[in-house]
Amino acid sequence: MAEDPNRTQTPIIFAPKTYQYDKLTLSESQLKPDPLDQFTLWFEEAKEDPRETLPEAITFSSAELPSGRVSSRILLFKELDHRGFTIYSNWGTSRKAMDIKSNPHGAINFFWKDLQRQVRVEGFTEYVNRQTSERYFHTRPRGSKVGAWSSPQSQVLKDRQELEDLVKKNNERFAGVEDVPCPEFWGGLRIVPLEIEFWQGRPSRLHDRFVYRRKTEHDPWEIVRLAP
């Protein structure tokens, strides 16, 4: 049954008091011609800010087709190269893996609260090569490597013990192995951007928003200002 549009509803939870954005400004003259250079500048500033305790945290969103259902999760951004932004995960059983198989487009969002900044990235995805995935996997702690082998990510578990048993099995499997190998189903996914927005909070919600846009990866970037 559809909701009655004339019915007045009382909120169950009220949001906290209004937060004012009043630290910095952003003008087109400050922007670098290449959005990846602009991102690098902002990301370095976020890393240098002691109050930004996890500047690499992102929201990664994907959408399943043909249903169009969207799913989001917090991940850690790991690498930026000339093509785009790379994350690492299980691409065999995870929800995001299923989404990407049906729809190769994805979006990521950075939010740096102390700097009052956001960066939104939209584009298409591609898997990095095996050598790149293995290079990163070898830098992970041993427990994380065994965990990657053990977790059938996003699949239903009977209980916690089932997961613990899988970890035990793989600890035994790789006992004496100095460097646990990278699973075939695990690796990097790169978001190749077609749109990157730089958002700087301003008072009264009159934020500064600039977007770099292109239709394909071979096109030049266009910079436009958006209304807040």
- Cβ atoms of residues 28 and 38 within 8 Å: no
Give the contacts of 153 (CB within 8 A, at least 6 positions apart): 89, 90, 92, 93, 94
Segment 44-89, tens digit of pLDDT = 999 999 999 999 999 999 999 999 999 999 999 999 999 999 999 9
Segment 168-216, tens digit of pLDDT = 999 999 999 999 999 999 999 999 999 999 999 999 999 999 999 999 9
- Cβ atoms of residues 56 and 108 within 8 Å: no
Q: Kindly name the residue from 69, 130, 205, 225 that is annotated as catalytic.
A: 205
Q: Is the domain defined by 28-146+184-225 classed in CATH 2.30.110.10?
A: yes
CA dihedral 108, 111, 112, 113 (to 10 degrees): -170
Segments making up each domain of the chain, as ranges:
28-146+184-225
* pTM for this entry: 0.90
Helix/strand/coil for 46:
helix
Instruction: For residues 195 and 35, give the distance between their C-alpha atoms in angstroms, rounded to a whole number.
Output: 9
- State yes or no: is 205 an active-site residue: yes
